[in-house]
Structure formats: C-alpha cells, structure tokens
C-alpha cells in the first residue's frame, strides 16, 4: 500500500508552512500543495528546501488571496478572490480561470525551479463543476501532471475537524490496506494572520499532533505502508 498524506495550503502563512515542515520532520507528511499567490511564497520555498523528501504540488485557488492574472469574473475591485459561495452562484469566464491557474502553475515553476508533482485546489474548486474540471484536465495534460480525484491514488475523506483523530486515521488506513490512497490534511502551526483569516486555525495544530503521533507511525510501520508523494 502506498499512502499519500497531502498537506494542503503550503505558503498560506509562515506558521502553516512551518507546521507542514514539522509534519515532515516529525511525522508522516511527504506531500504538500502550494498556494502560489501568497506573499510569503519565497520564504516557503526556503523552508521546503530543508525537506528534500517533500513532494510539492500546486494548490490551485480562486477563493483565497489575490489574483495573479486579474480575471474579473471571480474577483472584487481590488483583485481579491471572491468566496466559494460567491463563485458557485455566478458564471465564471473559463478563459479567465484557465489564465489564472496557468499563472499559478508558472509561478510555482519560476519560484521553486522545478515542476510540481500534481494539482489539487483550495476548497476543491478544481472539479467543483464540469467547466472547472475541463480546465483542470486541460492544464494537467499541458503540464503532464496528475490531479487529485483523477489519479492512481484513491482519494479518501473523513480526516478533518472533529474527525481528525488518531483513531479515525488508523481506522481509515485499516479499511484501505489493499489500495493506494491519498488523504487530504490541513496541519500547521497557528499565527495571528491565520487566526484572523481562517475558521480552520488552531485545529491545524491538532492535526499536526495526530500526524506526528507515535501510535499512527507505529501502525504504518507494522502494516508495511509506504509513505509516498505523487
């Protein structure tokens, strides 16, 4: 069994990035996806360089931070992305979405000087409807990248918020021992920026605790599970 434990939101805030790196050093994280429109992206790159075993993908976004390409169908007057609720309720210009996400992937390549391992997205916008999935598949083909929920790894849910516990994670792994799977996580430390901007702030530290726990790591070792990235 190959297991991808992906840490979403690398680069969101300095504390989130530092917490993800802690999850690599002390725990079972081997994969993360990067928010490429964040102001601390270069600092996140330097942190990532300390963990050569960490696979780095792109966390496509239309719902957090500022647009890189300036599309008008999903931003406000200050080029800040609208909420997921807002973009679901209005038509989006597919060409603008394509241009925005291509800019995010290209910025990743420029800053990290490597190709990303795969694509996924913030608030799961990359496959929230047929149009977004069509754009995602086009970009995946152009850059020759696998995509969450469209790869050889089965995407398994159930680890989030109140269910982000040792017991839940071990149960999920027990149920999929004969499959290669990906589990999405949102670990990190919590700084003031995160606390002010996100409803999922201190809970990231709870996830970090679970993903670095000896109980989980012992189970993975005993079952011969291979920690992997895309």
CA–CA separation, 74 and 34 (whole Å):
20
Residue 30 pLDDT > 90, yes or no?
yes
* pLDDT mean over 70-81: 95
- Where do the structural domains in the chain lie, given as residue ranges? 2-227
- Give the CATH superfamily of 2-227: Glycoside hydrolase/deacetylase (3.20.20.370)
16 — pLDDT class (breaks 50, 70, 90)? very high
Helices (H), the chain: 14-26, 41-48, 84-88, 94-112, 130-143, 166-175, 192-197, 203-211, 214-222
State the pTM of this model. 0.97
Under 8 Å between Cβ of 4 and 182: yes
CA–CA separation, 74 and 82 (whole Å):
6
Under 8 Å between Cβ of 23 and 57: no
Residue 109 pLDDT > 90, yes or no?
yes
89 — pLDDT class (breaks 50, 70, 90)? confident
CA–CA separation, 103 and 108 (whole Å):
9
* pLDDT mean over 140-144: 98
- Residues with Cβ within 8 Å of residue 199, at least 6 apart in sequence: none
Beta bridge partners of 154: 181
Q: What is the residue whose two structure tokens read 């920690």?
A: 227
Under 8 Å between Cβ of 159 and 6: no
- Residues with Cβ within 8 Å of residue 157, at least 6 apart in sequence: 184
CA–CA separation, 224 and 226 (whole Å):
6
């Amino acid at each position: 069994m190959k297991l991808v434990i992906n840490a979403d939101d690398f680069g969101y805030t300095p504390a989130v990035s530092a917490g993800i790196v802690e999850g690599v050093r002390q725990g079972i994280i081997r994969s993360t996806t990067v928010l490429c429109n964040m102001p601390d992206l270069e600092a996140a790159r330097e942190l990532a360089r300390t963990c050569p075993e960490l696979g780095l993908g792109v966390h496509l976004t239309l719902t957090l931070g500022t647009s890189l390409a300036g599309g008008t169908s999903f931003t406000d007057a200050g080029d800040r992305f609208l909420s997921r609720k807002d973009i679901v309720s209005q038509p989006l210009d597919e060409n603008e979405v394509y241009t925005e996400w291509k800019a995010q992937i290209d910025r990743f390549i420029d800053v990290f000087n490597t190709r990303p391992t795969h694509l996924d997205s913030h608030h799961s916008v990359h496959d929230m409807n047929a149009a977004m999935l069509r754009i995602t598949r086009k970009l995946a083909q152009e850059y020759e990248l696998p995509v969450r929920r469209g790869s050889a790894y089965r995407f398994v849910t159930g680890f989030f918020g109140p269910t982000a516990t040792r017991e839940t994670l071990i149960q999920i792994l027990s149920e999929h021992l004969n499959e290669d799977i990906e589990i999405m996580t949102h670990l990190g430390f919590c700084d003031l920026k995160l606390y002010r901007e996100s409803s999922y702030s201190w809970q990231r530290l709870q996830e970090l605790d679970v993903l670095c726990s000896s109980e989980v790591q012992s189970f993975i070792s005993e079952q011969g599970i291979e920690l992997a990235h895309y």
